[in-house]
Chain A
């Protein structure tokens, strides 16, 4: 959606093709260095299309887009969409160099990902500052995830420094990276290849101003990842929405199960029998995808599977106490609700390991080693109970 086909962008791209190592007599942009640079005008079309571009800044290597440090209402809405839907997959900016304020050769250079939400957080934190923003091509993924994949990585950073001719734009040789980019970037290799010293800045863009003030020294608190209840709550829609797939499949199966009689499907029986199960399944999914993440430190045990199971069994029990119509007369079905739904909650809660800031692969592997067999056994037992119940109902036994 942010694909840039404007003449200005093409101009910047053409200039970028000319690496600084090329000979001065051959390279046309080197010759331009001594001549006054023709400042490009930002046309109303660009401003209309990308309101965050406010103008251009002149550099020895050509003109660079200047960006606003304010976030519009529309962008706040777009950020919300990123949190609740697949909208985030196409929320990108064109990689390259941008200017916040009116930076010069001595201004700081901060690096970020081309996920527009990440980029917006950075520019929002740079109000009244004169800073260069170097955007890496991370395929629209945030810094930490992209660093894990390697797209926010050493090769891309070196490549982007060369493409944007940063060596000629910045008079110094320091480049500030978000600390969470460190899993992907090898600072000593970047220094070797480009001469730029990587400084790992704060984890959060909001601390950038204080980081500049402190002479580019990240304090202990700036280096620590936080994971507050609000942080966790923000992540839950993307847990709940995918889990609704399980809910939809479960609803159809359980409806057909209760409706199935020897003479065909009986809709009245289907609805009566399935309704408590559908409500309890929804409760189990919310226990795993919402309650467990939000109350993560409060729920006992470190294992996410155990936390989810505990939240699930508690919520099933509470729901049954509050609403008597959730109780089924058959004891085998009551047993089934306590067998199946806490396990669904456990499975859903385990998925949240992918969204946390502190779970490692070895730990998740250990959890899966005992959790997956338990899920399979539970599924088999649940099916067995359902088959036996139906067989008993049909007087086949």
Chain B
């Protein structure tokens, strides 16, 4: 299953990549592959901006505007202001 195309904010700075493969290990949607000792984004449109690759890249070769892909959280933040958070303890939505 795919979501909307050309929306992910994932950025890759190949100059900083050492080809350690950590991004491949942590990505839940097979966005990366290691080719010739370097990471390559093979399918950007599968990225859900969870931030696992960015958090685990020790070399700062990746960036993404991470956040919750949850309409309820985003609508709440539009109405009440503030950052959209998936706060399951106060929300009635079944997000978690």
Show the binding face of A for B, using Cβ within 8 Å.
89, 139, 141-142, 145, 147-149, 154, 179-180, 182-188, 200, 203, 218, 220, 223-225, 227, 235, 237-239, 241-242, 245, 296-297, 302-304, 350-351, 353-368, 372
**With an 8 A cutoff between CB atoms, is B88 at the interface?**
yes
A309–B66 Cα distance when bound, in Å, is 28
- The one of B2, B29, B71 that contacts A368, using a Cβ cutoff of 8 Å: B71
- Per-residue 0/1 for B28-69: is the Cβ within 8 Å of any A Cβ (1 yes, 0 no)? 111000000000000000111111100110100000011111
B26, A361: Cβ atoms under 8 Å? Answer: no
A361, B84: Cβ atoms under 8 Å? Answer: yes
B55, A354: Cβ atoms under 8 Å? Answer: no
> 4 closest pairs, A vs B, by CB?
A238-B94, A354-B70, A361-B67, A354-B95
A358, B1: Cβ atoms under 8 Å? Answer: yes
A303, B4: Cβ atoms under 8 Å? Answer: yes
* 5 pairs of residues in contact across A and B, judged by CB atoms under 8 Å: A224-B28, A350-B71, A361-B66, A362-B9, A368-B71
B89, A139: Cβ atoms under 8 Å? Answer: yes
A184–B66 Cα distance when bound, in Å, is 11
A227–B3 Cα distance when bound, in Å, is 13
A282–B69 Cα distance when bound, in Å, is 26
A357–B3 Cα distance when bound, in Å, is 10
A183, B71: Cβ atoms under 8 Å? Answer: no
Distance to closest chain A CB from B94 (angstroms): 2
B9, A182: Cβ atoms under 8 Å? Answer: no
A360, B47: Cβ atoms under 8 Å? Answer: yes
Residues in chain B near residue A359, CB distance under 8 A: 3, 48, 69-70
A238–B88 Cα distance when bound, in Å, is 12
A148–B78 Cα distance when bound, in Å, is 20
Show the binding face of B for A, using Cβ within 8 Å.
1-5, 7-9, 22, 25-30, 46-52, 55-56, 58, 65-75, 78, 84-86, 88-89, 92-96
A245, B93: Cβ atoms under 8 Å? Answer: no
B74, A365: Cβ atoms under 8 Å? Answer: yes
A350–B71 Cα distance when bound, in Å, is 6
- Of all chain B residues, which has the CB nearest A236? B94
Question: Given A186-B56, A242-B92, are A354 and B72 also a contact pair (CB < 8 Å)?
Answer: yes
Distance to closest chain A CB from B49 (angstroms): 4
A3–B64 Cα distance when bound, in Å, is 38
- The one of B1, B7, B22, B94 that contacts A362, using a Cβ cutoff of 8 Å: B7
Distance to closest chain A CB from B59 (angstroms): 9
A200, B26: Cβ atoms under 8 Å? Answer: yes
A193–B88 Cα distance when bound, in Å, is 30
The interface centre, meaning the residue of A145, A239, A363 with most chain B CB atoms within 10 A of its CB, is: A363
The interface centre, meaning the residue of B26, B29, B94 with most chain A CB atoms within 10 A of its CB, is: B94
A297–B2 Cα distance when bound, in Å, is 9
- The one of B48, B58, B73, B74 that contacts A358, using a Cβ cutoff of 8 Å: B48
B71, A351: Cβ atoms under 8 Å? Answer: yes
- The one of A154, A200, A297, A362 that contacts B25, using a Cβ cutoff of 8 Å: A200
A238–B72 Cα distance when bound, in Å, is 13
- The one of A186, A241, A303, A353 that contacts B70, using a Cβ cutoff of 8 Å: A353
Question: Given A182-B56, A354-B95, A363-B69, are A224 and B4 also a contact pair (CB < 8 Å)?
Answer: no
- Of all chain B residues, which has the CB nearest A245? B92
Residues in chain A near residue B1, CB distance under 8 A: 227, 296-297, 356, 358
- The one of B8, B26, B30, B71 that contacts A367, using a Cβ cutoff of 8 Å: B71
Residues in chain A near residue B51, CB distance under 8 A: 148, 183
- Of all chain B residues, which has the CB nearest A146? B96
- Of all chain B residues, which has the CB nearest A301? B4
A145, B86: Cβ atoms under 8 Å? Answer: yes
Distance to closest chain A CB from B58 (angstroms): 4
Distance to closest chain B CB from A100 (angstroms): 24
A361–B74 Cα distance when bound, in Å, is 8
The interface centre, meaning the residue of A237, A239, A245, A355 with most chain B CB atoms within 10 A of its CB, is: A355
